[in-house]
Amino acid sequence: MKFSTKAIHIGNEPNLQEGGSGDVIVPIHLSTTFARKKVSIPTAGYDYSRSRNPTRDALEKNLAALENAHYAFAFSSGLAALTNVLLMFKPGDHIVSIDNVYGGNFRLFKQVFAQWGLEVSFVDFVTGDDIKKYIRPYTKLIFLESPTNPLMKIIDLASVASVAKQKKILTLVDNTFATPYWQKPLDLGTDIVLHSATKYLGGHSDVTGGCIMVNDKALADRIGFLQNAIGAVLSPFDCYNLLKGSKTLELRMKKHEENTLQVVEFLSKQKKVKKIYYPGHPSHPQYKLAKKQMKGFGAVLSLELHGNRETVRTFLESLQLFYIAINIGEVASLIEHPATMTHAAVPKAEREKCGLSDTLIRLSVGIEDVEDLIADLSQALDKV
């Protein structure tokens, strides 16, 4: 079964059994508790909605299928999903993380779990060989974004996963930027895939959610236990909305990328643009790796302008179709300044260490008519 067929049908099967309603859209099960006839036997496996809910079950079945996973878990946000994974570890454990990560992930690592006793090293690597020198006897997890946020670095997921397995270390890939349509980390040997479902899976900036996908049953049992014990689950209404979003994921991603390639081509010819970060452009240092492990390159790019923060402010505030907003994956085009928005929680020294400059801008290209987007960028560049 191919991608869009999975997205539309798996988890969305109508109940055609006797007594079933035949809904072709999964109902929103709002009940917080479920009655039973026998004291010791929950009805259809449901007793309390934090533990299991029919709408969330449908979504999790759907998301697992999209990532070629055996198990999926839906949470109230991407950071809630990551928190559940991190709570599998104990004080004194060590995590190796790619250096360029989303500011919220950095804040969670450094300002929350560091106080609890987890040690995190933010380092620069691409391959499994690169990472070997950072692994310690008590390293338990390698945390990856690929592409990274916002510098769009591509990590060789198969080689990192191979090294991690030799050392009995788990690998977690934040696959939000690539989506399950463009990249499947579990197929490359990694252990855990994470998404901020707020982004492309939802696609319309009307759901805040997160999800985890895995193949290993023991790992799934542990994450499922923590999902229930901690309780940061996705509401039935948001599960319903995400199921709607996933049905059009392939269509949206194709249009997103089609527009992005043209936007990148335009920006690459502009003298006021100092540098472009996009894995689908031949100038990207991991362009060949991206072509090897991804089916496509996605719709997020970053660029640096010649000038300073005032140049950036003028450019951003001159745009009319690109909304200045903290998010990606929306059908509308979005733009932001990482140093003062998404990565403001990262100290300036840390930002500069990994190459995140004050003139860096991140774009999430939407599905509008690309001629209009290019015209908007052009008139804004004329003003700086």
Find where tokens 């920006």 sit.
Answer: 267
Q: Cis bond leading into 91, ω under 30°?
A: no
Grade residue 15 by pLDDT with cuts at 50, 70 and 90.
confident
pLDDT for 18 equals: 74
> Catalytic residue among 6, 140, 199, 255, which?
199
Domains 3-247 and 249-381 in one fold: no
| Percent over 90 (pLDDT), the chain | 92
pLDDT for 354 equals: 87
Is residue 296 over pLDDT 90? yes
Grade residue 16 by pLDDT with cuts at 50, 70 and 90.
confident
Range of weakest confidence among 15-29, 232-246, 280-294, 317-331? 15-29
pLDDT for 27 equals: 94
pLDDT for 371 equals: 98
pLDDT for 177 equals: 98
pLDDT for 350 equals: 87
Three-class SS state of 171: strand
pLDDT for 19 equals: 74
Q: DSSP labels for 94-119?
A: EEEEESS--HHHHHIIIIIIHHHT-E
pLDDT for 20 equals: 76
Q: Is 102 designated active site?
A: yes
Domain range 3-247, CATH class = alpha beta
Give the residue extent of every domain in the chain.
3-247, 249-381
Three-class SS state of 272: coil
Measured in degrees and rounded to the nearest 5, phi and psi for residue 52 equal: -150, 145
> Catalytic residue among 93, 174, 191, 376, which?
174
pLDDT for 30 equals: 96
Query: Residue 291: which residues within 8 A CB-CB, separation 6 or more?
Result: none
> Catalytic residue among 102, 181, 200, 278, which?
102
Q: pTM of the entire structure?
A: 0.96
pLDDT for 96 equals: 98
Amino acid at the residue 379: Q
> Catalytic residue among 47, 50, 107, 222, which?
50
Q: For domain 249-381, give the fold.
A: Aspartate Aminotransferase, domain 1 (3.90.1150)
Range of weakest confidence among 19-33, 102-116, 155-169, 174-188? 19-33
Is residue 353 over pLDDT 90? no
Q: DSSP labels for 23-89?
A: -SS------SB---SBTTB-BTTBSBTTT--HHHHHHHHHHHHHTT-SEEEEESSHHHHHHHHHTTS
What mean pLDDT do residues 200-217 have?
A: 97
Grade residue 22 by pLDDT with cuts at 50, 70 and 90.
confident
pLDDT for 176 equals: 98
Q: Is 216 designated active site?
A: no
What mean pLDDT do residues 7-35 have?
A: 90
pLDDT for 111 equals: 95
Is residue 17 over pLDDT 90? no
